[in-house]
Amino acid sequence: MAAEAALSQRLRAAVHYTVGRLCQEVGEDKDVEFSKQTIAAIAETTFRQCENFATDLELFAKHGKRTTVNTDDVKLLARRSKALLNFITEKCNDLACNNAEQKEKRALTTGKGKKKPDDHLEPTVTESEDATID
């Protein structure tokens, strides 16, 4: 339990730091200042929302009788934000295309030099040859 609490505190600190940096960047760009309380509130809200997302993703996977969260679970989570859903769908499609291309390349490179000689080919039996006529 103590290790879990320590990990949670480290994650909270990382989120707080990242939110602070983002607020700093936005503040410089928009010529606005964020108070420490505002940054802390945004960080806490972000952390809690991420916890909710994680819980929902686990439940979606469990409902699908799986132990691993997949892209369909993430899409389901993002369903209320059309822009986010479109972005995630586009990224999933890009990843799928890249994975397919890599598989093709691997198949081509591993297939070279591995072909059986012609004298070891299995004979093909057609349906007409296999059927017995009485």
Look up residue 89 and give its two tokens: 């769908």
Look up residue 106 and give its two tokens: 């691997």
Give pLDDT, residue 117.
53
Range with the lowest mean pLDDT among 10-14, 19-23, 108-112, 123-127?
Answer: 123-127
Distance CA 11, CA 76 (A): 25
Strand runs labelled E in 4-93: none
pLDDT for 30 beyond 60:
yes
pLDDT for 131 beyond 60:
no
pLDDT for 101 beyond 90:
yes
pLDDT tens figures, 48-75: 999 999 999 999 999 999 999 999 999 9
